[in-house]
Amino acid sequence: MTEPSVDDVANAMYELVKSTQGKKNLKAMDLTKAMIEQYGDACDKKTCKLAIRSLIDSGRCIYSYVGGSYVTLPPESA
């Protein structure tokens, strides 16, 4: 299996956060473990870290703090 790009991992992480929104809070390590499980050895922690940074910098996801630091979707702007 070819190594997934940072964008591929970021998109998969975004879909995971989106699907669990309101049901479960995901920490950065939860996302990393899920991507390593999904992509196997082709995905490493460095790629996952860059993907999370990409999501945060682009504004697609934000960090929230509720007794711990979680990656969530930004609140809807009305």
In order of their start, the domains of the chain are: 6-72 (1.10.10.10)
What phi and psi values does residue 72 have, to the nearest 5 degrees?
A: -135, 170
Mean pLDDT of 63-77: 87
Phi, psi at 4, each rounded to 5°:
-70, 150
With contact defined as beta carbons under 8 Å apart, do 65 and 43 qualify?
A: no
Q: Residues, the chain, total?
A: 78
**Phi, psi (5° rounding) for residue 74?**
-65, 150
Q: Is the pLDDT of residue 70 over 60?
A: yes
pLDDT in tens, 23-66: 999 999 999 999 999 999 899 999 999 999 999 999 999 999 98
